[in-house]
Structure 1
Amino acid sequence: MQSPVNSLKPNCVVLLGPTAVGKTSLGVQLAAEYGWEIISADSRQVYKGLDLGSGKDLSEYSAGSKKIPYHLIDITTLASEYNVFSYQQDFYSLFKTMRSEGKMPFIVGGTGMYVDSVVRGYDFVPVEENKDLRAELDKLSLEELGKKLLELRPNLHNKSDLLIRERVVRAIEIETFRQSPECAELKKRTGPRPQIDSFVIGTTLERDVLRQNIKLRLIERIEAGMIEEVSSLHEQGFSWERLEKLGLEYRYVSLFLEGKIDSVQTMTDELYHAICQFAKRQETWFRGMERKGVKINWLPRTSDRKARFDAARQLIEDNVL
């Protein structure tokens, strides 16, 4: 949770923002300045092999001759499902280790739910598959499943989950367990989460500049071999369905390779608009975090990298160090 006024100094720094605003380069500059290590908060960069499409840009993790250590990138494969609970648990482990070594955990990323799960301390519990419940749910239509989930969770935020059967089933499974006596007992045994007092910095750009960045970066990635990357992943045995579920670049390139989009140009145009919509959803998520009490210290909306770095450095020196 956020540190109250006049409390102890923050024990975690966060740099968030939508896609294509230069978070990684700014994060690397700040990490180099203060001797920090970067903890990525990106739901696709955790996967090995998702490089160009996820914007991994590992070459950016250096300042001059100095390599900046990074974490939670390339830690699993597409053979497994990594989710926000996985991220939170991995972060907690890193947080405890880094704080014991006197280091400042520094999160850099744009996956709002991943960041939010740490900053506001989502209350997660591991939920195993319930075969009996799934057998009952198999008899229901997608619409009936959606109604059941909304009965369990009237305040459901991500309504897009209602469109995918397996996600609805899993959400019902999780919520059913969360409301059970077994869950209450498990929480007693697992003990408290680490106390995280985060200082959150936000960076974004004016809408027209952001869209221009998105278009330029998309073209660069296609020219660098993004289509070939997705084709290679499929050749390694990952189904089109698995790749499409990764969203955005992986979804649209997969559709093109399957022959469901007729040309590279059409794919590029459709993907560009999808990424622009995604950036808007990211900013909406961050505004939602602010409404729920998270203070985000926004940097100037300028393309001047030095100006943003100087503003971020001033915020850190006034509030963190």
Structure 2
Amino acid sequence: MITLLGPTASGKTALAVRLAHRLGSEILSADSRQVYRGMDVGTGKDLSEYTYEGTTIPYHLIDIVPAGTKYNLFAWQHAFHEAYAAIRERGIQHPILCGGTGLYAEAVLRGYHLPDVAPNPALQESLQGLSLASLRERLASYGPLHNDTDLDSPQRAIRAIEIADYIQRERLAGADHTEYEPIESLILCITLPREERRARITARLRQRLDEGDLIGEVQRLIDSGIAPEDLIYYGLEYKFVTQHLLGELTRDELFTALETAIHQFAKRQMTWFRGMERRGFTLHYIDGLLPREEQLSQALEYLEAWEQK
């Protein structure tokens, strides 16, 4: 397998599509929010990018559950392995896992499996009222394999702590949650200078807001019957745009708060990817400032060297 990582707005999808086109491959999404139908603009699906030189590249793990669902790693891993097995059965040598949710990618590469954890009301109650920073600090105390990348709401952080607490108690009791075999993979990671990354994020956000697509999407989701608190749970675009539509943020406040949150999110993504190296993975970096064809050539060179090992 080939795993292609990178922060938001780094051009992961465009490179993955070109690589899949060259190799006759298919793409599996490692994005915790692109699984939701109807959440397109805010999650940056850019489905039009999956067509390249007249060929539409098959993709998986996108639009697989309705918006409003509380999807999790437990369900995603099962869906991943079903899709991955089907791709391999079609004779495809190098499926491409592409996304920015580091926990999802790492869990697949390690063969790690999180259980389907029931809510813990007592723990939830004990965590109520804590700041998001305090919740992230609490989550970090459980060890490295607990994602805080896209936790920008207390509800999501509390849920992550519930899972981490359950796993810790199960480990102390001698339980083993490894269900899947690790997957051998070439790991590529697109990098951008900090200022370039920030400029791309700001420009993309401004475009989505100025064109009305992002606010319109969130309004349609609310009109379809999805509760505002459920959209706030998803964080980032859905959190802040919902607060704007509820009258809690002005348009200028929406832009400023969301821009800051996405910059912080991208920084946490890169922190996670660098952490993967400390945890024993080898990442091969691709300069996101290079033209797409040069990025593709570099990826193919990495693949050739990897296959020769």
Using the size of structure 1 for normalisation, the TM-score is 0.82
CA, structure 1 residues 174+248, in 2 after alignment: closer, same or farther (shift >3 Å)?
A: same
CA, structure 1 residues 141+235, in 2 after alignment: closer, same or farther (shift >3 Å)?
A: same
Task: State the alpha-carbon separation in 2 of the partners of residues 169 and 192 from structure 1.
Answer: 20
Shift of 1:79: 3.6
Residue aligning to 1:298? 285
Amino acid at match of 1:270: A
For the pair 1:219 / 2:206, whether they are aligned, the reply is yes
Task: State the alpha-carbon separation in 2 of the partners of residues 192 and 97 from structure 1.
Answer: 18
Using the size of structure 2 for normalisation, the TM-score is 0.85
Amino acid at match of 2:254: M
Shift of 1:99: 2.0
Residue deviations 1:50-75 (CA, integer Å, cap 9, x gap): 01111010011011211100000000
For the pair 1:268 / 2:268, whether they are aligned, the reply is no
Residue aligning to 1:27? 16
Task: State the alpha-carbon separation in 2 of the partners of residues 98 and 141 from structure 1.
Answer: 42
For the pair 1:203 / 2:193, whether they are aligned, the reply is no
Residue aligning to 2:102? 112
Task: State the alpha-carbon separation in 1 of the partners of residues 279 and 192 from structure 2.
Answer: 23
Q: Which one has a bigger Cα radius of gyration?
A: 1
Q: Give runs of aligned pairs for residues 111-130 of structure 1, distance below 5 A.
A: 111-128=101-118
Shift of 1:295: 0.5
Residue aligning to 1:76? 65
Determine if contact 2:28/2:95 at 8 Å carries over to the other structure.
yes
Structure 1 unaligned runs (5+)?
1-11
How many residues align? The count is 297
For the pair 1:251 / 2:239, whether they are aligned, the reply is yes
Structure 2 unaligned runs (5+)?
none
Does 269-278 or 196-205 show the bigger shift? 269-278
CA, structure 1 residues 143+236, in 2 after alignment: closer, same or farther (shift >3 Å)?
A: closer
For the residue of structure 1 that corresponds to 2:96, the secondary structure is strand
Amino acid at match of 1:317: E
Q: Cα RMSD over matched residues?
A: 2.9
Residue deviations 1:84-138 (CA, integer Å, cap 9, x gap): 2222221122222222322122101111111111112223233345xxx64x557
CA, structure 1 residues 60+141, in 2 after alignment: closer, same or farther (shift >3 Å)?
A: closer
Shift of 1:16: 0.5
Aligned counterpart in structure 2 of residue 99 of structure 1, from 62, 66, 88: 88
For the residue of structure 1 that corresponds to 2:287, the secondary structure is coil
Task: State the alpha-carbon separation in 1 of the partners of residues 21 and 276 from structure 2.
Answer: 28
For the pair 1:58 / 2:47, whether they are aligned, the reply is yes
Shift of 1:163: 4.7
Determine if contact 2:30/2:97 at 8 Å carries over to the other structure.
yes
Shift of 1:180: 4.4
Determine if contact 2:142/2:168 at 8 Å carries over to the other structure.
no
Task: State the alpha-carbon separation in 2 of the partners of residues 22 and 161 from structure 1.
Answer: 23
Task: State the alpha-carbon separation in 1 of the partners of residues 16 and 192 from structure 2.
Answer: 16
